[in-house]
Amino acid sequence: MERRTIFPGRLLPAALVAPQLLLTVVFFVWPALHACWMSLHSEDPFGLASVFVGFDNYAALFGDPLYIATVARTIVFCFAVASISMLVALPLAVFADADIRGRAVYRTLLIWPYAVAPALAAVLWILLVHPQIGLLGRPLDRLLSLAGGHWDYKLNGGQALLVVVLASAWKQVSYNFIFLLAGLQSIPRAVIEAAQVDGARGWRRFRTILLPLLSPTLFFLLIVNLVYAAFDTFGTIQAMTQGGPAQATQTLVVKVFRDGHDNGDLGSSSAQSVVLMLGVIALTAAQFRFLGRQRH
């Protein structure tokens, strides 16, 4: 899309984009290229010199069963977070779109959690599910102990993954709610009325009219949620489990942070970064191809 009229001049626009461009190149493009370079090199044990090693870092990465397990875990984690938060948000949006009393109040009360920081979501959930102090954790532990089990996400990997998924999905519900509600509101009133005239009501109307018309929004949200689950949940996981117990809740981002920042393994961490970048690029491309198709 282009404008019909523009201002003349070349120096002014160049000056206007300069700050943004400078920040982008220094803090985004350069580090990304540096990551690519580092991923092809290895430092000697004293960190004094780096040697070109080709794709050795990548080979080591994909030869490492722990890394493969982390990739698989991240994929499961992302889809679990995305689907749970969308499944919870969908009925809320559908009913908040309905013509009922107090609609505006409900909307407000479902929108504010957008503001909760991922790391704070973890703190809230700790107080719910903590085996000793949690409001739900304590009864749950008692219940499980009847069957000879225990509720302790600090020790049990499966339980840890569950609570991290729930806390991450919980934080994302209101984002999905906002978009689904907007999607529902953009469906032309006439279409709904036509469906009413045709006798479609309740569940049938939802399944045959609303859901198909909402599918572009749902796809958009799926991608956004996957990206959120992959990257923005670092704070949630770090605050709740630090990726533990063992590596039960370690996602790719947590691992990059561990290996690169905490352990200083630059080669491997950079290779992981490059793999992640390819992942984001693939997701973004999917999203924009889809949006492009929508427009035509």
Partner 1 sequence: MRANWLAHAVLCCGVLLFLLPVWLIFAGSTQLSHSIARGELSLLPHLSGLDVYRRVLLGPGVNGEASVPHMLMISACMALAIAFGKIAVSLLSAYAVAFFRFPFRMVAFWTIFLTLMLPVEVRIVPTYLVMSDLGLINSFGGLTVPLIASATATLLFRQVFLAVPDELMEAARMDGAGPWRFLVDILIPVSAANIAALFVILFVYGWNQYLWPLLVATDPRLDTVVVGIVRMIGVESLTPWDEVMAVATLALLPPVAVVLLMQRWFVKGLTEGEK
Task: List binders of partner 1 among 96-125 (CB under 8 A).
Answer: 96, 98, 100, 102, 106, 108-120, 122-125
Residue in 68, 194, 211, 277 binding partner 1, rule: CB under 8 A: 277
Residue 156 contacts partner 1 per CB under 8 A? no
Mask for 43-82, x = binds partner 1 (CB under 8 A): ----------------------------------------
CB of 36 to partner 1, least distance (A): 9
Min dist. Cβ of residue 22 to partner 1 (A): 8
Binding to partner 1 by residue 87, rule CB under 8 A?
no
Cα separation, 160 vs 152, in Å, equals 8
Q: Is 10 in the site for partner 1 (CB under 8 A)?
A: yes
Q: Which stretch binds partner 1 (CB under 8 A): 61-69, 72-80, 88-96, 206-214?
A: 88-96
Burial of 201 (0-12, 13-18, 19+ CB in 10 A): exposed
CA dist., res. 63 & res. 60, Å (int): 5
Contact 40, 52 (CB under 8 A): yes
Stretch that binds partner 1, among 46-54, 58-66, 177-185, 206-214 (CB under 8 A): 177-185
Say which amino acid occupies 158.
G
Under DSSP, the state recorded for 30 is H
Answer yes or no whether residue 261 interacts with partner 1 by CB under 8 A.
yes
CA 195 to chain centre: 35
For the CB of residue 72, give the shortest distance to partner 1 in the complex, in Å.
Answer: 19
Based on the shown chain and the rule CB under 8 A, indicate whether residue 164 belongs to the binding site for partner 1: no
Burial of 4 (0-12, 13-18, 19+ CB in 10 A): exposed
> Tokens standing for 185?
């509101």
> For residues 93 and 181, is the Cβ–Cβ distance under 8 A?
yes
- When asked if residue 211 is in the footprint of partner 1 (CB under 8 A), the reply is no
Burial of 61 (0-12, 13-18, 19+ CB in 10 A): buried
The Cβ of residue 37 has, within 10 Å, a number of other Cβ atoms equal to 13
Considering only 62, 79, 206, 231, the residue that binds partner 1 (CB under 8 A) is 231
144 binds partner 1 (CB under 8 A): no
C-beta closer to partner 1: residue 27 or 55: 27
Looking up tokens 């991290």, which residue turns up? 164
Rule CB under 8 A: choose which of 173, 184, 209, 214 binds partner 1: 173
Residue 120 CA to residue 129 CA, distance in Å, equals: 14
Residue 95 interacts with partner 1 (CB under 8 A): yes or no = yes
